[in-house]
Every structure is written in C-alpha cells, then in structure tokens.
C-alpha cells in the first residue's frame, strides 16, 4: 500500500523496510446507537483480547524481521498520528462465525 517509483500503491511495508506501531484500542467496538454513552459489551474480554493482541504483535514482528513497538495494553495513552498522503486505509477482517 506504499508508492512505487511510478507513484502507484504497489509496494508493501516489507518492501519499503517500513515500521508499524501497534496500539490496542478496544473503544473501536463502542456501540453508540442507544443512550448517551457508548457500550463496550461487544469488545473482547482481556483474557481473550490480550493473547490476540500479543499474537498479532508477534506475527507482525516475524513478518517484518524486527521488533514492533507497541503501546501498553489497556492503558490510557496519548497517541499522535500524522497521515502522510491523500489516502487513509482501515484494515478490518470480519469475525469468523
């Protein structure tokens, strides 16, 4: 999803030698359709979520061939982001039934 020499998004993170930062964010599963505040009932419990998070980080590290920096799972953190370019891509995979 990164530009090649012709400006086309044909290169992977591995190909450009890029890095990622993995930060957990259970609030993405907040449901704000009812009431005055979001519900997090559909978010995974920590005993399920932490191993999934750690497995994801380990897989990313294996694929990139280097350690992957992370946030602290479940902690209050201030994370800044600068989007570089005209495209923001959100990757999500539907849960298995």
Strand locations in the chain, DSSP E? 2-3, 9-11
Active site residue 5: no
Active site residue 27: yes
Instruction: With CA atoms as reference, report the closest residue to 21 among 84, 97, 92, 80.
Output: 80
Which member of 26, 56, 70, 73 is catalytic?
Answer: 26
Q: Are strands 9-11 and 2-3 parallel, antiparallel or unpaired?
A: antiparallel
Active site residue 2: no
Which member of 2, 14, 25, 48 is catalytic?
Answer: 25
Catalytic machinery residues:
25-27
């Amino acid at each position: 999803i990164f530009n090649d020499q012709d400006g086309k998004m044909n290169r992977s993170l591995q190909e450009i030698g890029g890095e990622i930062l993995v930060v957990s964010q259970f609030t993405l599963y907040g449901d704000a359709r009812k009431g005055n505040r979001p519900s997090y009932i559909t978010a995974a419990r920590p005993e399920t979520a932490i191993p999934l998070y750690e497995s994801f980080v380990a897989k990313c590290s294996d694929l990139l061939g280097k350690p992957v920096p992370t946030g602290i799972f479940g902690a209050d953190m201030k994370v800044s982001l600068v989007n570089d370019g005209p495209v923001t891509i959100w990757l999500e995979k539907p849960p298995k039934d």
